[in-house]
Structure formats: C-alpha cells, structure tokens
Amino acid sequence: MTTVAPRLRALATGPLFVLAVTGLVGFLVVSQLRGTQPFSQRLANESEGDLARILAGLNTEADALREEIATLKLQLRDLETSTRSDEAAQKSAEDQLRTLEVLAGTVPVAGPGIALTVDDPGGNVRYDSLIDIVQELRDAGAEAIAVNGRRVGVASAFAQSGGKVTLDGVALASNYQVLAIGQSATLEGGLKIPGGILDTLAALRDVRVDLRRSDRLDLPALAKPPSFRVARPVSSSP
C-alpha cells in the first residue's frame, strides 16, 4: 500500500492540488463542524479519490451558495424597485390631494398674485359685478380667490340681499377687496381687458378701483367647506 506522503506529493504536482487548496478554507469549516478530529490528520487519512469527492462536494456547495446569493440579490432588487414604485405612487397621490384641497378651498394658501380694491361708498356695485371679477380671474388662471377675507370655493355663491352683496350668505362691506393668487401679470392682464370688468366698474358713479401686484398674499380656507347630499364619486371598478 502506498504511503500518505507520496500521495500528497503526487497531488501537489497536478491540477487537483490547486483545486484542493481553493476549497481548503471551506473544507476546514465543514470538518470542524462535523467532528473534533484535527483537519490535517483527517486530510492525511483520505485517499486521492476521497479528496476528489470532498473537493467536488465543496464546489457543489459553493455553486449552490452562489446561486442562492444571486437569487437573494434579485429579490432585494425587486423589493427596492417595488418600494420606490410605492413611494412614487404615494407622493403622486399626496400631490394630487394638495392640489384638490387648494382648488376646493379647504386649506389656507399663500403665494404671489394681485390685490383689487373696489371702493363703493354709494353701494352702486351689485353682486353680478363681483361674479364677473371672480370669473375673469379664474379665466386668467387664478388658483385661489378671496373677497373681504372670505375664500371663494367651487360652490360659493354671490347674491344681493337688503341692498348688500353677500358671499355664501354673509353680507360684504361695500369696500371690496379681492385677492387672487396666480401669475400676477396674467391676472392683471385678464382684468384689464378693454371693455372688461374694470371698465364697467370705472363707469359707475363714485366707484374707485385700485389694482396692485403682490409678491405674497395669504388666503384663508373656506369658513364652511361644502357638503354634497346627492353627488357621489363613481367607482373605477367594473
């Protein structure tokens, strides 16, 4: 029977030895887990065939670990992609909600715009003139409007009652101040259209109009958000 030393020398001269050294660290861990016998002694007692089988087993385990690592990396990437997609969807929903809250008038807002003051000591300005002002501002892109400190919402209404102009049932003082947030130049241009509302107001007796741009206006939320008794959202599901 051949001795161990010649076997190891034969292994050192061939490619099997290179492979055995490559898997040595992993084999050491496996050997320590499987028994208390010193690794060098266990290795010396193995035949060439056993060493080859051990090395093949280690390579198989290493390949399986690499495949598992690759699978876990793919799962992690999918999770990261899903998380980013969920975060983007949530941010989009939050942005849309904020936009709708501004348009509905349910939140206070601030921004640049114009301030229109209509001084009417004789009470010659009627409610339809204020409707025209609001409508022209909206046509010019106003994002939020308030009259005498009261926010104008999508369901707001002007009316005439007891010689006073009312907004959502509340009487307004005849020194009207209309604030509108939006592009100042565009809003101003919309009100100054020839034959528009400013010309109409200027033709009224004792009515004085002052229009100014402002870098910042602060508008309150609606005093009473609208409630809907009949209309209901339509479900998107079939």
Q: Beta-carbon neighbour count of residue 170 at 10 Å?
A: 13
**Domain boundaries defined on the chain:** 1-104, 108-219
What pLDDT tens digit does each residue of the chain (238 aa) get? Answer: 444 444 544 444 444 444 444 454 455 445 444 444 555 566 566 666 666 676 677 777 777 778 888 888 888 888 888 777 777 777 777 777 777 777 778 899 999 999 999 999 989 999 999 999 999 999 999 999 999 999 998 888 999 998 899 999 999 998 999 999 999 999 999 999 999 999 999 999 999 999 999 999 999 999 887 777 787 777 655 4
Tokens linked to 216: 């910042």
Residue at token pair 């707001």? 156
Q: Considering the domain 108-219 in this protein, what is its CATH number?
A: 3.30.70.1880
pTM of the predicted protein model: 0.62
How far, in Å, CA of 61 to CA of 54, rounded?
Answer: 11
